[in-house]
Structure 1
Amino acid sequence: MAKTTTPLTDVEIRNAKPKDKEYNLSDGRGLALRIKNTGSKVWIFNYQQPYTKKRTNLGFGNYPEVSLAQARLKRDEARQLLTQDIDPKDHRESQVAERTAELNNTLEKLAEQWLDIKRPSITEGHANSTWNSLALHVFPSLGGYPVSKLTAQKVIAVLRPIAAKGNLETVKRLCQRLNEIMIYAVNTGVIQHNPLAGIGKAFSAPKKQNAPTIKPEELPALMRSISRASIKFVTRCLIEWQLHTLARPSEAAGAKWDEIDFDQKLWIIPAERMKKRRTHSVPLTPQALAILEELKPISGHREHIFPADRNPRSHMNAQTANMALKRMGYENKLVAHGLRALGSTTLNEQGFDHDLIEAALAHVDKNEVRAAYNRSDYIKRRTTMMEWWSEHIEKCATNVTAIGGGSRRKVFDSIIK
C-alpha cells in the first residue's frame, strides 16, 4: 500500500526546530518544507523531469514570506506544467529571461541603439534633433515601456495632444522615427512585428510649407536691417556668411578653420557634416574671405569660425541666425534656411545654369543615371557664379556697412559686439 502523507499545518511549520542536519517536512504531491540547521525554512518541489525522467528540486521561496497556501498553489501550477511535458524549472528560467529582455529592451534603450547605427548616415545636428524630439515628446511617457508591450493606442494617446496644438509636422516626424525604431526592433529579433506601422494615418497630414524667404528685390532692405540690427558681431558675420556661401544653417554655424583652404579659396565641408553625407566644396569670394578676416582676431585661435557665446570651444547654435532675423522683424517672413532660396531664385532669374545652382546648394540629383555623368563640382564655373552673387549682395548693400563689402571700410568697431 502506498504511503499516505499527512498535509502540513501552519502550527506544525512554526514549531519545526532546526537540527544538526537539515531535514524535510513533506506536505504531499512533491511539496516539502526543508528545515536547515541555520533555522531557515525553504519550500521545495521535488519532481521528475519530462523526457529525462531525472528527479530534481525546484525552490518556491522561504517560509513565512511564502505561506503554506502560496506554496501549494505554486506546486499545483508546476504539476499542471508537467502534465504538458513542460519542465517548471525551464519555464521559470524562460520567464525570467523574458522579463529581463523586456527591461533591457525598452523604447528608450532601443532608440539609443537605433540612433547609434543611424548616426554615420546623418549629420550630428540631425542626430541631436532626432534624439531631442523623442526625449521631449515620447520618452517621458513611453521611454521605459518594453517595445514588446507598446501598442498603437498607447502611442497615439501620447501624440494626440501634440497634434491638438497644430504641430502636425512634429507628429509626422515622431511617427516616422518611432516606426524606424520598431523596424529595428523587428530586424534584431526583439519583437516579431511592428504594431506602430499605421499610426501616421491616425493624424491629419501637415500642409507642406517651404522655409519662409523674401523676394530678390527685398535684399537691399535685408542688408539694411542686418547693418542696423542690435546683434552680436559674430552673429552678424554668420548671417552674411550664410548669405554669401548659400550653406545650410547647421553647416555654416559649425564651420571650422581647418575646413578653409585659403590657397585655393575654398571652404571644404567634410561629408560627416553634410546633410547628404557628401563632401561639399564652396568657392570663397573676396567678400566671403573678408568676413573670415574680420573673424580671425576673434576665433582664429579656436577650432570653430563662429564660436558659441557661452562656450567658445563649441560653435554657435544653428538657430542663432533665425533668432536674430526674428528680432530684426522677419518673423514668419524669412529664416536662415530661406537665404538659400533667396540666392537660388536670384541666380535662376539671372539665367545661371540650373546644374551650377543645384551644385552650389549641395543638392543631390535624384536621377541616378544623370548624376553619374555629373560628378564634377563645376568649381571654376561655380566660382564665377558665386562671385556674381557676392557682388550682387554688395551692390544691394550700397550705403550699408556690410562686413563682406570689399570696397567699403571695415566696420569692426562700429558694430555691437
Structure 2
Amino acid sequence: MARTTSNLTNTQVKQAKKSEKEYTLSDGGGLQLRVRPSGSKLWVLKYTQPVTKRRTNFGLGSYPEVSLADARRKMQEAKVLLSQGIDPKAHRDEQSEAKREATESTFGVIADKWLTLKRQQVNPETANANYRALEKHILPLLKNTPVENIKPKHIINILEPVKAKGNLETVKRLCRIINEIMRLAVAGGYIEVNYLADVTKMFPAPKRKHMPTIKPERLPELMQTLNRANITRTTRCLIEWQLHTMIRPKEASTVEWDHIDTVNGIWEIPADIMKMKIPHKVPLTPQAMQILELMRPISGNRNHVFPGHRNPNTHTNTQTANMALKRMGFEGELVAHGLRSLASTTLNEQGFDPDIIESALAHIDKNEVRRAYNRAEYLERRRKLMEWWSNHIEKASYGSVSVTGTRSLRIVG
C-alpha cells in the first residue's frame, strides 16, 4: 500500500517544537519543514534533478518569514520549472547572479570606475569637471540603469533639452564622456556592443571657437602695451615667458626651478603637468634664460619660478596672464593661450617646418612611430626655431620694451 502523507496545518507549523535532533514534517509533494535543535524552521523541497536524476534539496526560506501558503506556492513554481526540464535551484542561482551583475554594471558604477581611471590619465581637475557634467545632466536619470539597457534613444531624450538651450559644446562633451564609459563597459565584459557609438551624429556639431589672438603684425603693439602696463615684475615676466617658450598658460605658471636645466638650457616639463601627460622638453633661448635671471632674486629660494601673489610658497594663478591682458585692453582680442597661436602663425608664415612647429607647441602626433622620432630628433631643430622666435620678439620690441632688452623698463615691483 502506498504511503500517504497528510497536509500540514498552520497550527502544526506554528507549534512545532525544537528537539535535541533535527526532524522534519512533511506536507506532501516533496515539501518539508525542517525543525532544527536551535528552534529555527526551514522549508525544503525534495526533488529529482531533471538532468542528473539525482535527488536533491531546494531551500524555500525560513518560517515564519515564509508562511505555509508561501512555501506551497514556491513549491508549485518549482514544479512548473521541473516540468520544463529546468532545475529550480540552478534557475534561482542564475537569477541571483543576474541581479548581482545588474547592480555591479549600472551606468553609475561604471562611471565611477571611469572617473578613477580618468584621474590617472588627465589632470584630476579635468576629470572631475567632466564627472560634474555627468552628475548634472546624465546620472540623475541613468545612475541606476544597467548599461546593457541603455539605448541611443535614452541619451537623445536626455540631451535634447541641452541642445535646445544652444549648449552644443556641452552636448558634444557629454557624448564623448558617455562613449568612454560605454567602451569601458565593453572592455570589462559588462556589454558586448556599445550601441551609443554614433549617438553624437544625432546632434549638430558646435562651431569651433579659436582662442582669441592677434595678427603677427600687432606683436610690436603688444610689447609696447606690455611695457606701459601697470603690472608686477612677476606678471610681466610670466607673459613674456609664455611668449618666448610657446607653452600653455598652466604649464608656464607652474614651472619649478627644479625643472630648469640651466647648464644645457632646457626646461624639462614632467608628464603630470603636461596636458597630454607626456613629458616635454623646451629649448631655452638666451632671452628665456634672461627672464629666469630676472626672476631669481624674487623666487630663487622657492619652488616655483613665478610665485603666487598672496601665497609665494605656491605658483601664481593660472589666470594671472589672462587677467593682465584683459586689463591691458586686449579683452576679446587676445588671451594667454592665444600667444601660442600668435607664435604658430608667425612661424608658419616664415616657412618653418610645420612638424617642428607642432613639436614646439607640444601637440601630439597621432602617428606613434613618428612621434617617438620627433621627440628624439627634433630638439636641436626646435632650438633654432625658438631662437629665431625670441629674436623676432626682441626686434618687434625695438630692443627697448622686452624684459630681455637692454634699456630701462617701466615695471611695478
Confirm or deny a common fold (TM above 0.5): yes
Displacement of 1:172 in angstroms is 1.3
Deviation by residue 1:259-295 (Cα, 9 ceiling, x = unmatched):
2111111212345544556543322223322333344
1:405 equivalent in structure 2: 404
Decide whether the 8 Å contact of 2:400 with 2:406 is kept in 1: no
Q: Which amino acid aligns with 1:214?
A: I
Alpha-carbon distance change, 189 to 378 in structure 1, aligned in 2, over 3 angstroms: closer
1:165 to 2:173 alignment = no
Q: Note closer, same or farther for the CA distance 1:253–1:95 as it changes in structure 2 (3 Å cut).
A: farther
Shift of 1:398: 6.4
Q: Deviations over 1:299-340 (max 9, x none)?
A: 444544445678777655655544554565545433332211
Inter-partner Cα distance in structure 2 for 1:99 and 1:312: 55
* Deviation of the 1:74 alpha carbon: 2.1
Q: Distance in 1 between matches of 2:160 and 2:376?
A: 47
Give the counterpart letter for 1:43 in structure 2. W
Identity %: 54
SS in 1 for 2:239: helix
- Say which SS state the counterpart of residue 263 (structure 2) adopts: coil
Cα distance change of structure 1 residues 48 and 147 upon mapping to structure 2, 3 Å threshold: same
Question: In the TM superposition, what is the alpha-carbon distance from 1:247 to its structure 2 partner?
Answer: 1.0
Q: What is the CA deviation profile of residues 181-229 of structure 1, one whole-angstrom value per residue up to 9, with x for unaligned ones?
A: 2123223321122232232123221122322222223334444555666
Q: Which amino acid aligns with 1:198?
A: D
CA pair 193-411 structure 1, distance change in 2 beyond 3 A:
same
- What CA deviation, in whole Å up to 9, does each residue of 1:117-157 have, x standing for no partner? 66776566655555454455434543444323333333333
Asked if the contact 1:223/1:400 (under 8 Å) is kept, the reply is: no
Name the SS of the counterpart of 2:18 in structure 1: coil
TM-aligned CA distance change 1:164 to 1:295, over 3 Å: farther
- Return the alpha-carbon distance in structure 2 between the equivalents of residues 238 and 136 of structure 1: 36
Aligned partner of 1:98 in structure 2 is: 98
What is the match of residue 187 of structure 2? 187
CA distance in 1, matches of 2:81, 2:314: 61
Number of the residue aligned with 2:49: 49
Mapped partners of 2:141, 2:306: distance in 1: 37
Instruction: Summarize deviations over 1:67-108 as a string: whole Å, max 9, x none.
Output: 333322322222222233332222222222222223233334
Q: What does residue 26 of structure 1 align with?
A: 26
Corresponding position of 2:244: 244
Matched-pair contact (CA < 8 Å) for 1:285–1:390:
yes
Q: What letter corresponds to residue 191 of structure 1 in structure 2?
A: I
How big is the shift at 1:368?
8.1
Whole-angstrom distance in 1 between the partners of 2:185 and 2:324? 42
Which ranges of structure 2 fall in alignment gaps of 5 or more residues? Answer: none
Is 1:59–2:64 an aligned residue pair? no
**Contact 1:6–1:27 (8 Å) recurs in 2:** yes
CA distance in 1, matches of 2:135, 2:375: 39
**Do the aligned residues in 2 keep the contact of 1:359 with 1:377 (CA within 8 Å)?**
no
Match of 2:13 in 1: 13
Contact 1:274–1:280 under 8 Å retained in 2:
yes
Does the 8 Å contact 2:227/2:410 carry over to 1?
A: no
Question: What does residue range 219-298 of structure 1 map to in structure 2 within 5 Å?
Answer: 219-223=219-223, 226=226, 234=234, 236-271=236-271, 273-275=273-275, 278-297=278-297
SS of residue in 2 equivalent to 1:341: helix
Match for residue 208 of structure 1?
208
Partner of 2:338: 338
| One-letter identity of the residue aligned with 2:152 | A
Q: Please tell me the residue identity of whatever aligns with 2:64.
A: P
Listed as ranges, the matches of 1:77-156 within 5 Å are 77-114=77-114, 127=127, 130-156=130-156
Residues 201/349 of structure 1: CA separation in 2 closer, same or farther (3 Å cut): closer
Contact 2:399-2:406 within 8 A present in 1 as well? no
Give the alignment's TM-score, normalised by structure 1. 0.81
1:333-412 matched pairs, under 5 angstroms: 333-364=333-364, 377-394=377-394, 396=396, 404-409=403-408
Find the residue that maps to 2:51 and give its secondary structure.
coil
Q: Please provide the CA RMSD for this pair.
A: 3.8
Runs of 5+ consecutive residues of structure 1 not aligned to the other structure: none
Distance 1:68 1:368, change over 3 A: closer
